[in-house]
Amino acid sequence: MPSHIRTPRLGRLPDDVRRALVTARRQRGWSQAELGRRVGLPQVHISGIETGKVAPRCDTLLDLVRVLDFDLLLVPRSLVPAVQALIRDYRDPGGRQIDDDEEERPLYASDGEEEVSGDES
């Protein structure tokens, strides 16, 4: 296999994915044992995934997210900020109030990204 195709594998799920799995499980009031029962894994394996000691196989990850009523999607990187904004709005439909001295951020701006005005010469 050409070296440009092979990339180093992550030793575990990214922290934000692991936190989302834990949060989703807890919101349902499930123990690790209950989640494991629903996906056919022992509690110790669920614990290993949640703590980052175990990197789940792709099919295991799909089983976990689906039983927790989520799904995995491939999103073009250019659309990630827009998708993240939609998720933020879904989680907080009321939104937060914007102070008078704070500028409103466009829907598609990512954190730390500033809007560039076309009027600058």
Q: What is the pLDDT of residues 50-71, one digit of tens each?
A: 999 999 999 999 999 999 999 9
Model confidence pLDDT, tens digit, residues 71-102: 988 999 999 999 989 988 887 777 664 444 55
Q: What is the pLDDT at residue 76? A: 95
Q: Which pLDDT band, with edges at 50, 70 and 90, does 121 fall under?
A: very low
Alpha helices in the chain (DSSP H): 15-27, 32-39, 43-51, 58-67, 80-91
Block residue for tokens 């076309």: 118
- Domains with residue ranges and CATH for the chain: 15-67 (1.10.260.40), 73-111 (no CATH)
Q: How high does pLDDT run on average in the chain?
A: 80
